[in-house]
Amino acid sequence: MPELAEVEYYRKRWNPALGRTIQAVLVHERAKVFRGTDVNAIRSALTGATLLSSAAAAKQMIFRFSGGGWLGIHLGMSGELRAEPAGYAPQKHDHLVLVTDATTLVFTDPRMFGKIEFTRGEAPPAWWTQLAPPILSTVFTVETVAAFLRRRARSPIKAVLLMQERFPGIGNWMADEVLWRAAIHPKKPAGQLTPKEIRALHRELRWVCQHALATIGKTLADPPKTWLFPHRWENGGLCPKTKKPLMRAEIGGRTTCWSPARQKLR
């Protein structure tokens, strides 16, 4: 599932249409991505509207249109955004297509685990404003992390890092990357982290988010080989720091990769 940096990358794919008027809105009305959303309202509000701006937060993105239209997109497992040339013919899995004079904006999702939201109004909708504060914001402090870990004391730290109400945008690979850098075993109960480990966790969360946005978020390129990321899917992969074998197992319902030589469970 796309995480913080991948969502930012896909958001920017619609940038070619900023300032352009939507001439037509094409939808697959019965697609599951529109569950709970009025498709006719999207078509009515966006036809003739201008794309003014966009933003990404956590695993979601929002697009603001003239006339008070707010389009929200969650990519789910297989969703992505593309900008195609004018005259593009929509394909089977292109569930939302916005046509302008110069480019065609496409949301495609073969597995339809993604979701489209739409609201009309002067202010951003609640489904956007109520997202948890970004990890790179000033309000994401060591103290807020420590308090959240205490409330989830018995859960393995890997599972806790996937909770979007405190760690927005963190998904499976980012959680593994953070724990590997902080030298914390993914099975360790959240309530057993020492103050030093909590500070390391906070530091590496911010570092991974910042640098993932600077690499994956710009070009979708893999991070360098010094990261865990390029090695975590390899059978027989080696830890970039210890040069010893990595291990994979299911923790908290998700496939997890760690370095036993570096991340010890005491």
Per-residue pLDDT of the chain (266 residues; tens, 9 = 90+): 789 999 999 999 999 999 999 999 999 999 999 999 999 999 999 999 999 999 999 999 999 999 999 999 999 999 999 999 999 999 999 999 999 999 999 999 999 999 999 999 999 999 999 999 999 999 999 999 999 999 999 999 999 999 999 999 999 999 999 999 999 999 999 999 999 999 999 999 999 999 999 999 999 999 999 999 999 987 889 999 999 999 999 998 999 999 999 999 98
Q: For residue 202, give the nearest of 184, 182, 186, 188 by alpha carbon.
A: 182
pLDDT at 9: 97
Residue of 82, 120, 254, 260 marked catalytic: 254
Tell me, what's the pLDDT at 118? 97
Given the residues 6, 11, 59, 240, select the one marked as catalytic: 59
Q: In this predicted structure, what is the pLDDT of residue 1?
A: 73
Q: Is 115 a catalytic residue?
A: no
pLDDT at 234: 79
**From 3, 6, 8, 204, active-site residue:** 3
Q: What's the pTM value of the predicted model, to 2 decimals?
A: 0.93
Residue tagged active-site, from 2, 168, 186, 223: 2
Is 254 tagged catalytic? yes
